[in-house]
């Protein structure tokens, strides 16, 4: 049970990291610190 709770908490913290990474990238783009991203 506690193992499940731990892995669930870790999964949630990864959600946080994903959001943080996306927001940092968005900020870098906004400040023109990244070159234009092509596809």
Residues that bind other proteins (CB under 8 A): 1, 4-5, 7-8, 10-19, 21-23, 25-26, 29-30, 32, 34, 36-39
Q: What is the DSSP string of 1-39?
A: -HHHHHHHHHHHHHHHHHHHHHHHHHHHHHTT-SPPPP-
Token pair listed for 37:
């991203």
């Amino acid at each position: 049970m506690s193992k499940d709770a731990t892995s669930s908490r870790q999964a949630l913290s990864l959600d946080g990291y994903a959001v943080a990474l996306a927001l940092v990238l968005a900020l870098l783009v906004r400040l023109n610190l990244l070159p234009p991203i092509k596809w």
